[in-house]
Amino acid sequence: MINDLWYKNAIIYCLHVGTYMDANGDGVGDFQGLLRRLDYLHGLGVTAIWLMPFQTSPNRDDGYDVADYYNVDPRYGTLGDFVEFTHGARQRGIRVLIDLVVNHTSNEHAWFKEARKDPQSKYRDWYIWSKKKPPNANKGMVFPGVQKTTWTYDSVAKEYYFHRFYDFQPDLNTSNPLVQAEILKIMGFWIQLGVSGFRMDAVPFVIGTKGAKVKTPHEQYDMLRTFREFLQWREGDAIILAEANVLPDTDMHYFGDDGERMQMMFNFQVNQHLFYALASSDTRPLIKSLRATKPRPATAQWGLFLRNHDELDLGRLTDKERQVVFDAFGPDKDMQLYDRGIRRRLAPMLAGDRRRIELAYSLMFTLPGTPVIRYGDELGMGDDLKLPERNCARTPMQWSNEPHGGFTKSDKPIMPVISHGPYGYEHTNAAIQRRHDESMLNWTERVIRMRKEVPEIGWGDFEILRLRDPAILAIRYDWRNNSVVILHNLDANAREITFDVGLENEGGRVLINLLSEDHSEAQSNGKHKLVIEGYGYRWYRAGGLDYLLRRSEA
Ligand code: NOJ
C-alpha cells in the first residue's frame, strides 16, 4: 500500500463486527463473517474500515466498556481471526482503523477490580477517587436523562469514583504517566496486528484534567503529540481520528499548529449545521461552519459524516435551529435523545425520499474532508425505535431476504433485524439492490468511484462561490491547476441560478458534468446560468477547454 497521506482521500466505512455478519450461526456477528464480506466492501469502493470496539467487554455500552484491551471478545472470534481479517483487508488494499477507548474502562476490568479492592494496589491511582461526594457530582453528565451523576460510591473501595459516562465506565486517570504508557502499549499491540490507526474515543475527556477539585477541566493538549509521535515511530502512516465535539476555536489545538497532533478529527460543527441546512433549506449557517473549520494544517483532515452510531447531537445549534431540525426530522419525543439529539437513521429521517438521501450523501462526499459512511446507509437501512436509546440505529446488516436478513442462521440474533415495512429486510437488502442499476447501493458505488476521481476535494483549497440564493451551496476546489465546482440545491423547488466560477483565463468557461452529460458553458458575460432541480446536485470539472475545441472542430 502507498504510504503517503492516504487518509486525505479515503472512503471510510464504519461497522460493528457483532451486527455485520454471523458466520458460525450463534446469532452474533464475527470476524469470520466480516472476512467473507470484504469483497462486498471492496466492490463498494471502501478504502478503510473503522471497526467499533470488539475487545473483551461486558457490552453494556456496545463495547465502549472495555474489560481487556489485548483481546477479542470471544463472541466475535479470536485474535487469530482478527489477524486473518486484517490480512484479508490488506490484500484488497483496505486499511483498518479501530476504536481506542481509553478515557475509561469497564468496571469489570481487572485494573478496576484491583484498584477498588486494595488502596495499596498500583492500579488505585489509575482511576479517580474521592473520599467525599464532590459538590459537582451532578454536573457534566454525557447522557443527561439516563445518567444521574458523574461520581458513584463504591462499597468495596469505600470511596467515590469519577465516571464521565455511565457508572459502569470508571474514568482512567489519564494524567498518570503509567496510564499514558499503557495507552501507548495498547496502540503498539494493535499496530503490530495490522491496523492503520485508531478512532480515539472521547478525546477532550481523555486529555482533560480530572478530579474532585477540578471545576473546569483544562485540556492537556501535549498528550496528543505523545500519542501521535509514538504511533508514527512504530508505523509511519498510521493515524488517529479524534472524536472531539469541540468549538472551532480549539480545532488547531487538536491538530497542532504544525500538524503534530491528530491527523484527523470528526467535523461535528459541519455535521450539525448540515442537518440544519437539510431541514431548513438555508445553507448560511452551514457556510459559516465551513469557513470556521477551514483553518487546518496541510497534512490534517476532517472526517465528514451524516449519521453515526450515536444520536445526532444538535447541541451546538441555537435553540431555534435545533427546534427546526427536531420538527423536520425527529418530531416525536421518542425519536429524540439526551435532550439534545435525534436517534434515528438517515433514511427514515428523510422520509425515505431518495432525492433527499442522494442530496445528503452527495454533500457528505463533496464537503471538505474524508467521508465516513455508516454500514447499511448504502442500502438506505432504517431504524427500530422500539429498541432503547441508541440501539435503535444499531440493528444487523440486511444482506438478503433470507430469514433475519441473511445476517445469521440463528433464531436469536444479537439484535432484532428490521423486518416488515419499507425498511424491512424483505425489501431493503444488499442482494436485491445489487441487481438493480438504480438502487441506492449501486448509486453509492458509482458516487464513491467518482469521489475517488476527484482528489481535489481531499487535497485542495476551497472557496464558497457567491450566490444570492441561500438554498444553493456552491463550492470550488483548486488543486495543482485543476478545479472542480460542486453545486447543491437544498430546496424542494427547482432553482435558476447564475454564478461566476471565479477562475481566470477562461478556466471556468466550460463545466464538465462528472455524473451526467449535462455540461454547462458560460454566457458571453462569463457567467454560468442553469436550472438545478429540487434537491439536485452537480459535480463539475472546470476548465474543459479541450471539450470546447473538440466541439468547434466537430
Ligand atoms: C463516544 C462513543 O461514540 C459512544 O458510543 C460511547 O458511548 C461514549 N463515547 C463512551 O465511550
CATH number, domain containing residue 514:
2.60.40.1180
Cα–Cα dist 275/268, whole Å? 11
Nearest CA to ligand 1 atom 10: 64
Instruction: Report the pLDDT averaged over residues 268-289.
Output: 98
Please, which pLDDT band fits residue 422 given cuts at 50, 70 and 90? very high
> How many Cβ atoms sit within 10 Å of the Cβ of residue 120?
6
Residue 234 lies in a domain: no
Instruction: Report the pLDDT averaged over residues 264-286.
Output: 98
Instruction: Report the pLDDT averaged over residues 250-260.
Output: 97
The 8 Å CB, 24+ separation contacts for 448-452 are 448/11, 448/44, 448/45, 448/46, 448/365, 449/45, 450/514, 450/515, 450/539, 451/11, 451/365, 451/366, 451/371, 452/9, 452/11, 452/45, 452/47
Please, which pLDDT band fits residue 552 given cuts at 50, 70 and 90? low
Which candidate in 30, 159, 201, 321 is catalytic? 201
Please, which pLDDT band fits residue 2 given cuts at 50, 70 and 90? low
Backbone angles phi, psi at 96, to 5 degrees: -125, 125
> 526 in helix, strand or coil?
coil
For this structure, is 171 an active site residue? no
Q: Determine whether the shortest distance from the Cβ of 202 to ligand 1 is under 6 A.
A: yes
Ligand 1 pocket test: pick from 16, 54, 57, 61 the residue with the most ligand atoms within 8 Å of its Cβ: 61
Query: pLDDT value at position 1?
Result: 54
Cα–Cα dist 456/482, whole Å? 7
Over the range 294-324, which residues count as b (16 or more CB within 10 Å of their CB) and which as e?
A: eebbeebbbbbbbbbbbbbbbebbeeebbeb
- Looking at the predicted structure, is the pLDDT value of residue 370 above 60? yes
Percent residues over pLDDT 90 in the chain: 95
User: Which residues have CB under 8 Å from 60's CB, separation 6+?
Assistant: 106, 166, 168
Nearest CA to ligand 1 atom 4: 310
Residue 475 lies in a domain: yes
Query: pLDDT value at position 551?
Result: 59
Query: pLDDT value at position 504?
Result: 85
- Looking at the predicted structure, is the pLDDT value of residue 545 above 70? no
Ligand 1 centre distance from Cα of residue 60 (Å): 11
Number of structural domains in the chain:
2
> 72 in helix, strand or coil?
strand
Single out the residue in 130, 162, 194 at which a domain terminates.
162
Lowest mean pLDDT among 193-197, 246-250, 542-546: 542-546
Q: Identify the H or E element spanning 287.
A: helix 284-292
> How many Cβ atoms sit within 10 Å of the Cβ of residue 276?
25
Do 346 and 307 meet the contact criterion of CB atoms below 8 Å apart? yes
Residue 466 lies in a domain: yes
End-to-end Cα spacing for the chain: 43
Q: Which atom of ligand 1 is nearest to the CA of 101?
A: 11
Q: Determine whether the shortest distance from the Cβ of 305 to ligand 1 is under 6 A.
A: no
User: Which residues have CB under 8 Å from 246's CB, separation 6+?
Assistant: 204, 254, 268
Cα–Cα dist 497/520, whole Å? 12
Please, which pLDDT band fits residue 99 given cuts at 50, 70 and 90? very high
For this structure, is 445 an active site residue? no
Lowest mean pLDDT among 12-21, 25-34, 321-330, 535-544: 535-544
Check which CATH number belongs to the domain holding 137 and give it.
Answer: 3.90.400.10
Cα–Cα dist 310/269, whole Å? 16
> In this predicted model, what pLDDT tens digit does every residue of 124-148 receive, in sequence order?
999 999 999 999 999 999 998 889 9
Do 320 and 274 meet the contact criterion of CB atoms below 8 Å apart? no
User: What ranges in 21-78 are assigned the alpha helix state H?
Assistant: 31-36, 38-44
Cα–Cα dist 502/519, whole Å? 18
Q: How far, in Å, are 83, 185, 355, 372, 533 from residue 329 at the CA level?
A: 41, 43, 16, 21, 22
Average pLDDT, the chain: 96
Q: What angle do CA 398, 401, 403 make, to 5 degrees?
A: 90
Q: Determine whether the shortest distance from the Cβ of 101 to ligand 1 is under 6 A.
A: yes
Q: Which atom of ligand 1 is nearest to the CA of 103?
A: 11
Instruction: Report the pLDDT averaged over residues 327-351.
Output: 97
Nearest CA to ligand 1 atom 11: 64
Q: Determine whether the shortest distance from the Cβ of 372 to ligand 1 is under 6 A.
A: no
Residue type for 531, please?
Answer: V
Single out the residue in 120, 146, 162 at which a domain terminates.
162
Ligand 1 centre distance from Cα of residue 201 (Å): 7
Residue 239 lies in a domain: no
Ligand 1 centre distance from Cα of residue 59 (Å): 12
- Looking at the predicted structure, is the pLDDT value of residue 33 above 70? yes
Residue 525 lies in a domain: yes
Cα–Cα dist 522/267, whole Å? 34
Backbone angles phi, psi at 380, to 5 degrees: 75, 40
Query: pLDDT value at position 554?
Result: 58
Residue 238 lies in a domain: no
Ligand 1 centre distance from Cα of residue 102 (Å): 11
* The three cell numbers locating residue 282: 438555508
Range of the domain at 140: 110-162
Residue 133 lies in a domain: yes
Cα–Cα dist 498/42, whole Å? 40
Instruction: Report the pLDDT averaged over residues 357-382.
Output: 98
Residue 386 lies in a domain: no
Q: What is the DSSP letter of 524?
A: T
Single out the residue in 139, 162, 185 at which a domain terminates.
162
Nearest CA to ligand 1 atom 2: 201
